[in-house]
Amino acid sequence: CEKRFLVTECLDAARAERRQALDQLQRQQVVLDEARRRERAAQRQRDIETRAAREHQRAVEERNARHDAQHKPAAGLPLPVPASAASR
């Protein structure tokens, strides 16, 4: 630009070109940042769903264990005989 007679016009054009390039890069950066945000949000949602599924499975297993413990006869003890069968 300095070799030209109208240096200001040349510098203005160079600055405009630079601004255009930087604007394009910034738009690309915004798109990439948004994609990263969406991916992180999706990963957080998957983690939440996985934790909820594990918690649900644990609760079901606990409930089943309690149910089994309540309805399982103690080891070594005879099974209780219903009153109607005992009077025969």
The reply to whether 59 falls in a domain is yes
> 3 by DSSP, 3-state: which?
coil
The reply to whether 83 falls in a domain is no
Predicted confidence (pLDDT) per residue in 13-71, tens digit: 889 999 999 999 999 999 999 999 999 999 999 999 999 999 999 999 999 988 888 77
Contact call for residues 11 and 1 (beta carbons, < 8 A): yes
The reply to whether 49 falls in a domain is yes
- Tally of structural domains, the chain: 1
Range of the domain at 22: 7-71
- Residue 64 CA to residue 70 CA, distance in Å, equals 10
Which run of H or of E encompasses 48? helix 7-71
